[in-house]
Structure formats: C-alpha cells, structure tokens
Amino acid sequence: MEVVETQNLRKEFSGGIVAVDDLSFSINEGEIFGLLGPNGAGKSTVINILLGFVTPSAGHATVLDQDVQRDFASTRNRIGILPEGYSLYDRLTAREHIEWVIRTKNGETTPHSILERVGINDVADRRVGGFSKGMRQRLAFGMALVGDPDLLVLDEPSSGLDPAGIQEMRNTIRKAAANGTTVVFSSHVLPEVEAVCDRVGIMSDGQLVALDSIDTLRDQVRDTARIVLTLEEVPDNIGLRHVDGVRKVTVDGTEIRVDCHNATVKADVVRHIDQRATISDIISEKSSLEVLFNKYTDNLTADDGHPTAEVAQ
C-alpha cells in the first residue's frame, strides 16, 4: 500500500521562487525513505506539503489515503513528526512533554515506555531547561513516537546525538518500520541516510533528480571510486587535479579524500602522492552516498576550488 503519493506537485512562493517543481513519487508502507538534497533544494517544502502545512500551487499529494488539502487534521494524528527547529518547554519535565502529546493525540502509550524507547527514562522528572542538545533531541523523537504513528516524518533526526544515540535511534526507526510504520527521513548527514534508508529521493532545485534504492544508485556510479589517504603532512599544492580520472579532492587536516572515475585511477593517485608526501594510511572505499549525492547535485569541486571534469555516466 502507498502511504505517500504525490503527482506533479509544484510550489511557487511569492516572488516567483519555485521551491518544488513537478514532483511525482510514492512511498510504500513500512518503507524508510530518505529525502536528500543541498540547502534550498525544496525538502522542507515537500515535507510541509505532505503534512498539510503548505498548500501546493499545483498537483496533488495524498498521505495515508487522505488528500492533504482536505480534512487533514485527523490524519495528522496518525503521523509522528520530528520537525526541524522544534520547541520544548523549559519548565516542563520530559514526562510532562510526553503526557501532553499523549493527551493531544489520544495515544494509548505510557510516558514510561516512550522515554525508555528513546533512552531518557532516568531523567523523566527533570525539567527540560537543563537538558543537553542530545537529550532534547531524544525527547523530541519520543514525542514523535507517541501513539505508534503510521507515518513518521523526521527532519535531521540524528542532530546533536552522540554515536550511541545515533545507533539507538537507527534501531528504533528500523523496529518501527518492521512493525509497519512508514518513515520519511530528511537529512544532510549522508552516512546516516545510507545506514537506515531503503530508498532515497535526491532533490536539487525543486526537482527530484534521483529516486531509487541506494544499491541501485550506487550501481549507476560503479565507475566511481574513493580513496582516503592520511599523510604525515599535506603539501601546499598537492596537484591532484592533474591526475587523469580524478573527480573531486577534499582535504581535511592530514586526510585527503579523492573521488576517482574508476578504481584503476586510485593507483595513480597513490603514486602521485607518494612522490610528494609521506603516506601513513590508505583506505579504499566503495561509492558512498556522498559521491552519489555530488553526482546528482553537480556538487563537484577540485582541490583548487575549480570545477573538475564532467561526471562520467
């Protein structure tokens, strides 16, 4: 069953800003769907349309068999939302927040079970004003889980969480999906999306430029290969853009990440660097979602900041 369906969705804001342009896609029951895209791509606008908060200029969106532009308030009770920039009440405790959502949604869950699921039961009766960012994020996630929603809409859900928190959240999301909850997951943290999503839609300039499983998308860039080298010291001008087949170079401290057109280029990269610096570690990676993301959103830069060659198809 399709839980989300959009047809030729378009949103034009005043001033002629086209935030969403002719978007058609669907999400199936129990699927974990990642919505990706650079800043301003249109992700939040799509999510706000799906939640009935923004009216589309054209096209249709159906969520849980309900047209989002008609009588959507009752359907919204079946949706758990972790919005970007949520607000919490500093004077209320974690338990009081959950109790409030349970009352609003007529949920049958107990605060204890929700707080336990998000790992903050031990601070249930503490005021939220003293919570760390990660604790607040866990609470906001818990509020979204109240009532075992049929659809979970999570905007940057791992924001502020430590590695253990991220892992717990992933497990909770996977369990919810295994029990039939559909999840729409918007994030800039690409490895996060890669780790948890069944399918991704990549947006750029209001359009859906890719829509598929990560494995299928990865197959489409199988001629892309990444190598990560740690150097004792990175020379000022490493000159990697002169190596044939190098698509993108990112330097982070003593680490250099190089995206190549294909695996054979990696050896040329190692030879090139070996003549100019001392290599202390080499990691060869398969195509990451980041590479896919860059491919589909044309986010390609070289080590000197100039665009590199076109992406091979």
In the complex, the residues that contact ligand ATP under the rule CB under 6 A are 13, 17, 19, 37, 39-45
Q: Using an 8 Å Cβ cutoff, are 127 and 93 in contact?
A: yes
**Distance in angstroms between the alpha carbons of the first and the last residue of the chain:** 33
Neighbours of 258 (CB within 10 A): 27
List, in order, residues 6 or more apart from 221 with CB less than 8 Å away: 287, 291, 292, 295, 311
Residue type at 243 in one-letter notation: V
DSSP character for 297? H
List, in order, residues 6 or more apart from 141 with CB less than 8 Å away: 82, 118, 154, 157, 169, 172
Q: CA geometry: angle at 211 spanning 188 and 185, to 5°?
A: 40
Helix intervals (H) in the chain: 43-50, 72-76, 94-105, 111-117, 133-145, 163-178, 190-196, 214-220, 263-274, 289-297
Q: Using an 8 Å Cβ cutoff, are 169 and 157 in contact?
A: yes
Distance between CA 31 and CA 53 in Å, rounded? 23
Q: Using an 8 Å Cβ cutoff, are 86 and 142 in contact?
A: no
Tokens of 191: 């490895």
Buried b (16+ CB within 10 A) or exposed e, 195-227: bbbbbbbbbbbbebbbbeebeebbeebeebbbb
Q: Using an 8 Å Cβ cutoff, are 23 and 10 in contact?
A: yes
